[in-house]
Structures are given as C-alpha cells and as structure tokens.
Amino acid sequence: QNTCLPPETSVYRVFVRPIRVSHMMLRRALHWAAAPPPFVSSTVGNTARGLSCQFRTLAASSISTPGSGSYGGRRYDQRWDSRTRGRVGAVVGVAGSASLASVAQSEANANSNNAAAVVAPMVTLYQYNPCPFCNKVKAVLDYSGIPWQAVEVDPLFKAEMKQTGLKKVPVVQLERTEGYLADSDAIIDRLNVLAESLGSEHALPHAAPVGSTAAETEEQWRAWINGRFVHIVTANIYNTWGESVQTFDYLLTHGNFGKVNQLMSTYVGAGVMFALSKLKLNKKHGIENPRAELYADCNAWVVAVGDNRFLGNDDRPTLADLGIFGVLRAIQDYDTFDEVMANTKISSWYFRVAEAVGDSARIDPAH
C-alpha cells in the first residue's frame, strides 16, 4: 500500500518531478538492456536484469512520494517489460523478428513449466494518446495483461479512421475477428469477458455480486466517470492556451502524420479545443471553476473509497477504480496532474491502483 502524503506544490515540482524523470529514464535503459535483441550478449542481459531489480528495490524503498510506485511516471512504450516479453511469440508479426519471438517464447515456456496456455489475441486500439476515454480502455488492457498495439489517429484529419467506418475514438479491433468495437464502456465490458476466458494469467477486476448494493454503487460511479469526471478533467487540460498546447504537443512525437500535419494538428487542435472549452463545453457541462471543481471531485472519490484500498474492497480494483485511474493517467505528464496530486487527497489511492495495474501490456513502440 502506498502511504505517501500529498506533497506541497513547490517541493513536488522542485524535487520530486526531476526524480520521477530520472527514475523513468534509467528504468527504460535498464529494461532495454535486460531484454536485448538476440545479437546482444546474454551476459549483458543477465547483468542488466540484476541491476534493474536492484534499482526497482532501491527506488521503492527510498522514495515515498508520488511516482515511487511500480507505475511511477511510466509512459506506454515499455516494449520489453517482463510481462510483455513472455507473450511476444504470440504476436511476432507486430513485435519483432521470428528470431526474437522464438527466444521470447522459449523463455515463456520455461517459466510456465511447458504448461499449455491460451494465447491472448492482439488488440489494436485506435486512439488519441491523451484521450480520457481511450485511457480508460488502456487501463483495463494493462491490468488484464492483454497485449495491445496502438494506431495514433490524427485528431485534425482522422485519415486513420477511414478503414473503421467510425468517427470517434476509442475503437478496438481484436485479432482473428472481423469488425470493430466502439464506445469505451462497451469495449471494456468485452475485454473483461475476454480476460476471463483467457485464464488465471490475466487479472480480472473485482466484481460485486450482480444486483447487490455494491454492484449498483460501482455502476453509478462508472456512469459518473463518463458524465462528469471526463469532462471536468478535459476542461482543466484546455483551461489556458499553454495547457492546450501542452495537451497536443504529443503529436510532435507520436503517429506517422508527417511534420506539416503534426504541426498543424498540434497548434490548430490546441486552438480549437481551447476555444470550444471556453465558449461551449464548460457551459454545456455546468463547469464554472475547472480547477476547484476537479479538486472537489477527486476528494469526493476518495471519500467514496473510504478506508478500503479500492472501491468497496481491499482485494482488487473495480472497473470504476480503473476508469478513474485511466482518466487521470491520461494527464500524468501535464501540469494539471501535478496540481491534482499536490492539492487533493487522491495520490495514495492513485498509486495503489498504479501498482495493481503494473507495467503496460503495450507491445509496439510508443511512436
């Protein structure tokens, strides 16, 4: 259980944030070295695995601030993490060469004592990287350990969506199936059924008995996420021109749009969303003071969780936990996230869920 207290804003920005960045960069380097391509000496890999384990232990024991959990400031590009590496053989066409796949599959077979396992289908997610609805889906994929890859959609031109026949993200396609799934909650429910069919390797969220008060409470919170929480978070990341540009600057490094499209989508998109937020969206959703209302909503969720580790239980996160976590994880690299961690009581819960979710199950590079 993460027991860190919300830090003061100045201390968090001056001391903690640099530690998170350094922690993330070093861990990425060690992850790559710990699972090198076949042409790299196995001695290097074994040495790096040891260093990686020691580094994680040291970081977990010495940094008791947000970012010190197993998720930390991690992005979604940890292609060679330990959970993913054992499943690379099942997705060789996407993850890498046949040689690497055979090495990874051999390791997976050895770790499972050659036990037969059901291979999870590849999930392709059409997304905008900071989209809160997309990040709800990604939280469930990562928690369940279902391997997935992303198609980054250009928010201005949306050329990547033409083959789906749909206009809005998230959209999901399952390997070995036809058609596309839309609507974040419908996708999540389908993924939950898929994870259950794949066996014990894939974690399932906590589910209260159907018809119980606890189940009804969870459904109410899931509806609240879509009807309220997503919109208050969105209002905050487009609250100023600077925050709008910060939200869209991922396009400069993600996707394959070409430099001209990247620049146009970044600055035109930022301008459009900044204007829409001020002129229409805030009024539509009854938002008058975005920051103060976001802080209040986060604290209301903490009250609902109460003394439990997660909503209604101490065992596993519910779909409501994963939904709110996903929406907040969407903004983890933005100023809004830092201020939420510093000015609300949600940080301990957030990093508990981050620890339960663990490493990303994404197997393709982040951009």
Q: Looking at 76, 126, 133, 325, which residue is catalytic?
A: 133
CB 319 within 8 A of CB 312: no
In the numeric block, which tokens belong to residue 364? Answer: 């393709």
Query: Any catalytic annotation for residue 274?
Result: no
* Cα→Cα distances 27→23, 50, 143, 315, 333, Å: 6, 12, 20, 28, 17
As a whole number of angstroms, the distance between CA 305 and CA 221 comes to 11
In the numeric block, which tokens belong to residue 295? Answer: 């802080």
Helix, strand, coil shares, percent, the chain, to 5:
60, 5, 35
Query: Any catalytic annotation for residue 298?
Result: no
As a whole number of angstroms, the distance between CA 251 and CA 267 comes to 10
Q: Looking at 131, 248, 257, 325, which residue is catalytic?
A: 131
CB 122 within 8 A of CB 94: yes
Q: Looking at 71, 76, 126, 128, which residue is catalytic?
A: 128
Sheet holding 181-182, edge to edge: 148-152, 123-127, 171-174, 181-182
The values of phi and psi at residue 275, to 5°, are: -65, -45
As a whole number of angstroms, the distance between CA 289 and CA 281 comes to 13
As a whole number of angstroms, the distance between CA 25 and CA 90 comes to 28
Query: Any catalytic annotation for residue 248?
Result: no
The values of phi and psi at residue 149, to 5°, are: -130, 160
Residue whose C-alpha is closest to residue 35's, from 114, 117, 103: 103
Q: Looking at 12, 76, 134, 310, which residue is catalytic?
A: 134
As a whole number of angstroms, the distance between CA 342 and CA 13 comes to 10
Residues acting as catalytic residues = 128, 131, 133-134
